[in-house]
Amino acid sequence: VTAEKAGFDHFMLKEIYEQPKAYRDTMMGRISDDGRSVVLNEIGMTAEQIRGIRKIQIVACGTAMHAGLVGKTVIESLARIPVETDVASEYRYRSPIITPDTLVIVVSQSGETADTLAALREAKRNGARVMAITNVVGSSVAREADDVIITQAGPEIAVASTKAYTSQLIAFYLFGLFLADTLGTRDADAIAEVVAAMHELPEKVERILTEAPVLKSLAESLAKHNNLFFIGRGVDFAVVQEGSLKLKEISYIHSEAYAAGELKHGTLALIEEGIPVISLISQEDLYEKTLSNIKEVKARGAHVLAVVNEGLEEEVGKSVDELFAIPKTLPLLAPALSVVPLQLLAYYASLARGNDVDKPRNLAKSVTVE
């Protein structure tokens, strides 16, 4: 068993460390030699069909849905097509407006999640084209979708998804660029800029991984609490939702992820002396806004850990108790870096609490029943 884990104590940790390779493998063969366009030969849609897409619905469960929240920002920003992201079990029963000019994207690591598969079938019945982002070739979702982008994360064993999520982000970046290229919403120079920054992501993840001991000691303090909060704005809000789920499922610490600006509309009532608040700031245009939210919780006694872009340490450091810096990248690509410390915090918190990291209670790796 230790051999399968390649020397790591748990599959989850091994899979976290496999992310640089998963990013490279998912990009491989999908970028032109000159780095100025994305080549997705697996997409059967013609340019004409792509130009006909009026809206996109991303449908998935759990962590895959969280990748879809980032996917919405990515596609809307790069291709200017309106995107909705739905939880598959809700989508099925809310009578969604699916038209032939809707593209439905289902996201599933396993490709076997019952609710996601049912959503795919519902979308096809209504005449939409369905694209799948999945990690498993030959899975039900891969077989039934019209187009499939396979994430090259390799087998994911731990119940808590890590490298599958980040590979799904890479798939969304590639697809967003592919749409932008076809629709002309981004020129080749702009595409080349994003592609170049994507190539730097694996090395930047490696730099974060070298800081694992720092995250371990931060997690050991968090593990003493039963409640905590995550806050972020913009795409950081999407990422903290994933950070919160990761922590819940394996450490059993209750946490909630909030859009930082929404705190004062209710949640602030729960902030009391000593409660940890993990605040993510990777979107520099929003950093002053989030900083003012940090000051609101600090004033009420919260213990704040800020995960911030390198370069913001001094400014943010004055207002928080703990700081963890992540390498800078383009704002749109930041989730592929910022989620990594949150994964490690969850892992080490689970470990500190003596839990079964790879097989948390009550959960299955793949949920094949409704």
Q: Which residues bind ligand AGP (CB under 6 A)?
A: 61-64, 108-110, 113, 116, 159-161, 249, 363, 366-367
Which of residues 109 and 182 has its CB atom nearest to ligand AGP in the complex?
109
User: What is the token pair recorded at 346?
Assistant: 């969850």
Which of residues 161 and 309 has its CB atom nearest to ligand AGP in the complex?
161
Side chain identity at residue 81, one-letter code: I
Cα separation of 80 and 213, whole Å?
41
Which of residues 214 and 367 has its CB atom nearest to ligand AGP in the complex?
367
Least distance CB 366 / ligand AGP (angstroms): 5
Which of residues 63 and 279 has its CB atom nearest to ligand AGP in the complex?
63
* 282 close to 338: Cβ distance less than 8 angstroms: yes
| 365 flagged as catalytic | yes
The residue at minimum Cβ distance from ligand AGP is: 62
Cα separation of 254 and 227, whole Å?
5
Q: Which of 5, 21, 248, 365 is catalytic?
A: 365
Least distance CB 61 / ligand AGP (angstroms): 4
Which of residues 210 and 362 has its CB atom nearest to ligand AGP in the complex?
362
Least distance CB 309 / ligand AGP (angstroms): 25
**Cα angle 165-96-237, degrees, rounded to a multiple of 5:** 35
Residues designated as active site:
365
